[in-house]
A and B are shown apart, each in its own frame.
Chain A
């Protein structure tokens, strides 16, 4: 059985979790087994996990899951995996999923691969594909143990409806006492799709000259229902919040559309965004290295080009 750990946010299943479930479903198909989901806490839309391939949702809503403690969650997920005799455990490669994977794998004596971008190849073993060397290369890794743990990079596969609403079953678990205390959670904009899950991203660099000029970036993001991001010097200078910083030292993303505005395209920036499906680069310097990685390039002054693009998209939507 393939068991998928489902992450929630504000009482709802996260988009990353739907992808993980669909990944689990495709993996289960290959292995000739079923895909089931594990929900720790509550989600009002948990039955919808069935649409993406979970035949059953196991739930435990102990108070211990109200905040994230890596030890408590890892122990619970490993315990559930043992109890339900799961052979593959799938996680989202989110900040919590990344923290959990090593811990769960150790507890299950399992081999693990994080940030998978494709369903496993099971022709000869169980081989998982991921980006390495800051997305300059790909690697296929064979997991040699009976139990396997995989985390799925956001936006790696297009999810499809393959089933109907799933039944929810309560699962008894011994929940550990927390080893940490979460004092506060500061979410900056809760109505915006978080960067790792965003399908469209509009990103600004030093070419914008200062934080006061971000209006045009935000307006473009608005008409595209996109999430905003930035290059490292921009967050270093506090023009934009730190969590918007993408690249090697920031976060790695792979949206369907990445629009880079006034960003030169340094190799460390590309490391975080090069896997985007479509890249648009707006830069006044025709020699900017970013154009080499772009699908569409606009050589021009961003202060002129960006508002025009926003208008054009508004017209298209009208």
Chain B
């Protein structure tokens, strides 16, 4: 099967967030960037598992400049077959999805994976936009994916208070959530072979983003915690009712 995994770059989960002078961009000094965890742990590993069982290939696709190559190499080290990087700065979900869908339209993939969302802008929009442009079914927040035959899959999808079980034929777009696979750490052999795997650079299509960032803000500082005597839960109950007005 021909599988494609869309990967993005995000600040490490523990990164301390600050912005540049006019608050329009993330201050990148001192931040470690990683592959978006949903893309890496669930989407990529699941695609590799499918390839190991059914054969074929796993391509990764990234929109970003060459300074992001280490993230792509990591995906290759984990086990992807080859990589494509669309050579332009990623500025918005609509722009990234447009660039990727335009690329995918030139190739034939059986399953197109994204992570359920990125942990920076938390948009969850790319998968739906891809599916729309490609006119394919889209299954979001998938926690299980079983390939039944080369062209049929059973998917479990998370939703409020439960799960849905869905049957879908290839090709389709799927966004991966926790449960789909287990994180894999690249081994030495993987890291060595990744260096010689093809990383193709793709020229972007002309496009102007449909949104623009006006400003970022840090949330207002929280008031200091008020400690309550563990022997006096009546006081906590009273505060929750009279002061916080939440019960």
Contact = CB atoms under 8 A, between A and B. Distances in A.
Contacts of B230: 298-301, 304-305, 308
Nearest to B133: A106
Contacts of B119: 133-134, 248, 271
Interface stretch (A79-87, A94-102, A162-170, A205-213): A94-102
A182 B247 contact: no
Nearest to A72: B137
Contacts of A175: none
Given A70-B137, A182-B165, A242-B178, A142 B211 contact: yes
Interface stretch (B43-51, B75-83, B195-203, B215-223): B215-223
Contact of B237 (A98, A243, A267, A313): A313
Of residues B93, B124, B139, B211, which shows the largest number of chain A Cβ atoms within 10 Å of its Cβ?
A: B211
A293 B125 CA distance: 29
A250 B233 CA distance: 30
A144 B211 contact: yes
A107 B233 CA distance: 54
A15 to B, nearest CB: 11
B101 to A, nearest CB: 9
Interface stretch (B1-9, B59-67, B105-113, B153-161): B153-161
A96 to B, nearest CB: 7
Interface of B: 11, 13-15, 17, 19, 26, 37-38, 93-94, 97, 117, 119-133, 136-141, 143, 154, 157-169, 172, 175, 178-179, 209-219, 222-223, 225-228, 230-231, 233-234, 236-241, 244, 246-247
User: Which 5 A-B residue pairings sit nearest by Cβ, starting from the closest?
Assistant: A102-B128, A300-B230, A111-B210, A194-B160, A106-B132
Given A105-B210, A106-B132, A297-B228, 20 more contacts: A74-B132, A95-B157, A99-B138, A103-B129, A106-B129, A111-B210, A112-B94, A132-B216, A137-B17, A140-B215, A179-B172, A180-B168, A180-B172, A189-B161, A257-B240, A267-B14, A281-B225, A295-B222, A295-B223, A305-B233
